């Protein structure tokens, strides 16, 4: 039975290794509590820089997971299958590495989702249990932020002008209040003017490359070359151009 459970994961790991030359990410596991303590340090630094508002979603999620794990481990019920499942993931929670904990909307909650399910099944249905249920589900308060951060390929420039990411882009990545997208060789940005008159459009942003490179921007027929030193953020300001109705 154990072999039958492990076989699909092992086969999939082998496929990934053959295709990508590696089997998975690093820093997913760590010594017990070290990843969680790192998360608490991250929350403390974020609160000092941006106030509690800047870290409240992750603080709620971290507190909820801690309540769930402490309840499951502090109230053993080995005869109940839900407790056995939840306790296993509670132990896993304390062994998650920094790659799972770091950043806003970290992966920790989904990595131990069975813990949350088991907690909600096993929490006592009493007045005190209601308070416990609320504390163990504080992560619900992060839902509005999660819905706001749904990735989009379109950025609104004005009510009738939009910037679209077309070919060549990888998905959005985020760290704190910053977001970015990578491309390898060439990528396309399209300004879509839905109005009836031409619009003047200017763009300013920052670019970075892991190695020394030169980026060429071809904007409405004008070309601008920007040298980029490896792993350094370089500000770029493209001269304004006219976007007629339709796509540029």
Same domain, 90 and 163: no
Domain of residue 207 covers 154-247
HEC sequence for 175-224: ECCEEECCECCCCCEEEEECCCCCEEEEEEEEECCCCCEEEEEEECCEEE
Q: What is the pLDDT of residue 80?
A: 96
In the structure, what pLDDT confidence band is assigned to residue 24 with cuts at 50, 70 and 90? low
Kindly report which listed range (22-26, 87-91, 223-227) carries the lowest average pLDDT score: 22-26
Same domain, 101 and 173: no
| Number of domains the chain contains | 2
Instruction: Please identify, among 107, 127, 148, the residue that sits at the C-terminal boundary of a domain.
Output: 148
Instruction: Please identify, among 98, 124, 148, the residue that sits at the C-terminal boundary of a domain.
Output: 148
Average pLDDT, the chain: 88
Most confident range (mean pLDDT) of 16-30, 53-67, 71-85 is 71-85
Same domain, 94 and 58: yes
Same domain, 66 and 102: yes
Does residue 31 have a pLDDT over 70?
yes
What's the CA gap between 136 and 138, in Å, rounded?
Answer: 6
């Amino acid at each position: 039975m154990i072999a039958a459970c492990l076989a699909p994961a092992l086969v999939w790991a082998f496929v990934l290794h053959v295709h990508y030359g590696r089997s998975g990410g690093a820093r997913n596991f760590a010594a017990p509590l070290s990843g969680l303590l790192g998360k608490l340090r991250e929350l403390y630094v974020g609160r000092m820089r941006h106030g509690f508002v800047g870290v409240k979603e992750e603080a709620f999620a971290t507190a909820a997971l801690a309540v769930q794990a402490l309840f499951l481990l502090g109230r053993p019920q080995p005869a109940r299958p839900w407790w056995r499942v939840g306790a296993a993931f509670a132990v896993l929670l304390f062994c998650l590495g920094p790659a799972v904990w770091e950043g806003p909307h970290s992966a920790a909650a989904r990595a131990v989702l069975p813990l949350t399910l088991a907690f909600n099944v096993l929490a006592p249905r009493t007045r005190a249990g209601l308070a416990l249920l609320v504390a163990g589900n504080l992560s619900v308060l992060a839902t509005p932020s999660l819905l706001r951060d749904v990735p989009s390929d379109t950025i609104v420039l004005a009510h009738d002008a939009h910037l679209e990411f077309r070919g060549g882009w990888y998905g959005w990545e985020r760290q704190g209040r910053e977001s970015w997208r990578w491309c390898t060789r060439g990528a396309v940005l399209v300004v879509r003017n839905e109005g009836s008159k031409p619009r003047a459009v200017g763009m300013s942003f920052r670019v970075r490359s892991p190695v020394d490179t030169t980026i060429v921007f071809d904007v409405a027929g004008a070309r601008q070359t920007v040298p980029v030193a490896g792993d350094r953020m370089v500000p770029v300001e493209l001269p304004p151009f006219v976007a007629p109705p339709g796509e540029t």
